[in-house]
Amino acid sequence: MHVLIMSFGTRGDIQPYAALARGLAEAGHDVTLAVPDGFTDPASADAGPGVITVHPAGTEMLRLVRDVMPELSGPTDALKTFKVMKSAMRRHIAETWDAARAARPDVVVYHPKCLAGPSAAEALGVPGVLSIPLPFYTPTAAFPVPFLGGASLGAWGNRATYRLGRMATVMYSGMINDFRREIGLGTTVGRLADPLRNPDGSPVHTLYPYSPHVVPVPPDYPPSAHVTGYFFRDDDTWEPPARLSEFLDAGTAPVYVGFGSMGFGKGADRRREAILGALAANGLRGIVATGWGGIEPGDAPSDDVLVIQDAPHGWLFPRTAAVVHHGGAGSTAAGLRAGKPSLIVPFLGDQPFWGARVHAVGAGPEPLPRRRLASGLAGRLADLVGNEGYARRAAALGEAIRGEDGVGQGVRVLERIAG
């Protein structure tokens, strides 16, 4: 079969689908991967016997995100960028449709950030599969939608929160319907359209690449919801810079601290001070990753700390003693897979949910609210590295996750859906 996979976002949004593309190719299927330019090299490696074709899509929109995000002071500023982003979003829709027409796929896998996904599948007359690495769309009584954190609202209340999944059509229905008219679809989508229903009323299959060891599959999930395990793909060609290798070899395993693209740049200097102070207060060696602006860059004040921009989590995390990060789905998966105790400092979105899950499975302390970073990080770091229970549970969980075959399960699910 030929599978079109479209995704957009930061590294954590792209890497799982590059891993799925490679797994499909290794199983003999052809894949078109529609993703921004900066993430194409790892995906285009020769996997065989199937062929992976990379179709750049969303590069301009990602550039805007990267340029703007470090300058924002908070969510209010983010709303002001909406008009600027709108043109780039329309371009992204056109680019993913170009990929669909070129691929003529048998099935379309789309991240919800790719607004063209379901309409493209409908226009081509093939199954569309919604995929996101968190349990965001399928209603369940077990827990509320992840954007509300980890607290239960009761069975009825939990299920009701999943109507938030319809917000994409509320915000972008005009843009989506313009696109549908352009590609010859006669019907429009309503502002509260259910993303889990096809136009003929049949259920939309959802592919959830996270581990059931971290979030158990609820008993009320329908057969159309597929929890596969994480999609991992390590870049075996990556070589660390000499200063990183030398730092790791120079002493005990360090604690990793990094917030990726989170935090909004105007607080980056205060976060840097809080992190360096907390590491020093606990006498810990540390690797501080500045990311896109979450932490102010600059040389470390002592030989016990190394400041870098970033490094592949799959390579770095197994070489650490513990990890501290913002709780993105990809970062959380990498820390747990490495078997390392994790402390989550959530900023937005689903990050409080993952922080709550890490604590619930015993792999780390309660999440530390971002506003308490300066006053609370030193104490939480002491708990993170000093609690042997976290280390034991994280090691056991890491072994279980490494034993999963999320990519293989994802391939088998798509084979069944495509018939």
Q: Is the per-residue pLDDT at 47 higher than 90?
A: no
3-state secondary structure at position 25: helix
Helix (H/G/I), strand (E/B), else coil: 225: strand
pLDDT for 361: 96
Instruction: Give residue-wise pLDDT tens across range 398-408.
Output: 999 999 999 99
pLDDT interval class at 46 (50, 70, 90): low
The predicted structure's pLDDT at residue 204: 97
Cα–Cα nearest to 418, from 284, 66, 410:
410
Place of tokens 């924002």: 72
pLDDT at 107: 98
Provide the pLDDT for residue 187. 85
Q: Tell me the pLDDT tens digit for each residue of 361-411.
A: 999 999 999 889 999 999 999 999 999 999 999 999 999 999 999 999 999
| Selection from 160, 159, 153, 161 nearest residue 141 by Cα | 159
- The DSSP H or E segment spanning 107 is strand 107-110
- The whole-number pLDDT of residue 170 equals 77
More confident residue, 9 or 84: 9
Q: 148 falls in which pLDDT band (50, 70, 90)?
A: confident
**Over residues 62-87, mean pLDDT:** 66
Superfamily of domain 242-402: Glycogen Phosphorylase B; (3.40.50.2000)
Tokens representing 344 are 């989550």
Task: Provide the pLDDT for residue 84.
Answer: 67
- Rounded distance between C-alpha atoms, residue 330 and residue 67, angstroms: 22
Contacts of 72 (CB under 8 A, 6+ apart): 78, 81, 264, 265, 266
Q: What pLDDT was estimated at residue 190?
A: 83
Which of helix, strand or coil describes residue 56?
strand
- The whole-number pLDDT of residue 336 equals 97
Say what the pLDDT of residue 83 is. Answer: 66
Element (H, E) at 110: strand 107-110
Which residues touch 213 (CB under 8 Å, ≥6 apart)? 361, 397, 400, 401, 404
**pLDDT (0 to 100) of residue 68:** 67
- The 8-class DSSP code of residue 33 comes to E
Q: How far apart are CA 225 and CA 19, in angstroms?
A: 20
Residue extents of the structural domains in the chain: 2-230+404-418, 242-402
Residue 234: pLDDT band by 50, 70, 90 thresholds? confident
Picking from 267, 136, 245, the residue whose alpha carbon sits closest to that of residue 196 is 136
Q: Give SS3 for 281.
A: helix
DSSP line for 285-303: -EEEE-TTTTS-----SST
Interior/surface letters 30-58, b for 16+ CB within 10 angstroms, e for the rest: bbbbbbbeebbebbebebeebebbbbbbb
Mean predicted lDDT score pLDDT of the chain: 89
DSSP state, residue 196: T
Kindly report, residue by residue over 16-42, the tens digit of the pLDDT. 999 999 999 999 999 999 999 876 554
What band does 249 get if pLDDT is binned at 50, 70 and 90?
very high
> Residue 356: what residue type?
A
DSSP character string of 120-142 = HHHHHTS-EEEE-SS--SS--SS
Listing DSSP states for 154-193 in one string gives HHHHHHHGGGGGGHHHHHHHHHHHHHHHHTT------TT-
CB 92 within 8 A of CB 114: yes
Q: Are 195 and 137 in contact (CB under 8 A)?
A: yes
Higher-confidence residue: 164 or 118? 118
Pick among 3.40.50.2000, 3.90.105.10, 3.90.1150.10, 3.30.420.40: CATH of 2-230+404-418: 3.40.50.2000
Q: How far apart are CA 415 and CA 308, in angstroms?
A: 41
330 pLDDT higher than 80: yes
- Given a cut of 60, whether residue 180 has pLDDT beyond it is yes
334 close to 267: Cβ distance less than 8 angstroms: no
pLDDT of residue 121: 97
Q: What residue ranges in 21-67 does DSSP mark as E strands? A: 30-35, 52-56
Share of the chain above pLDDT 90, in %: 69
- The predicted pLDDT at position 22 comes to 92
pLDDT grade for 419, boundaries at 50, 70 and 90: confident
Q: What average pLDDT does range 38-58 have in this prediction?
A: 75
**How far is 298 from 303, CA to CA, in rounded Å?**
13
Mean pLDDT over residues 169-185, rounded? 89
**Residue 21 near residue 40, CB atoms below 8 Å:** no
Q: What is the mean pLDDT of residues 225-242?
A: 89
CA distance 36 to 413: 25
pLDDT on residue 71: 61
- For residue 130, pLDDT over 90 is answered with yes
Q: What percent of the chain has pLDDT over 70?
A: 91
73 contact partners, CB below 8 Å, separation of at least 6: 264, 266
Q: Is the dihedral of CA 251, 340, 23, 19 positive or negative?
A: negative
Residue 267 pLDDT > 80, yes or no? no
CA 86, chain centre distance (Å):
22
Straight-line distance from the first to the last Cα atom of the chain, in angstroms, rounded to the nearest whole number: 9
Name the more confident of 272 and 205. 205
* 242-402 and 2-230+404-418 share a CATH fold: yes
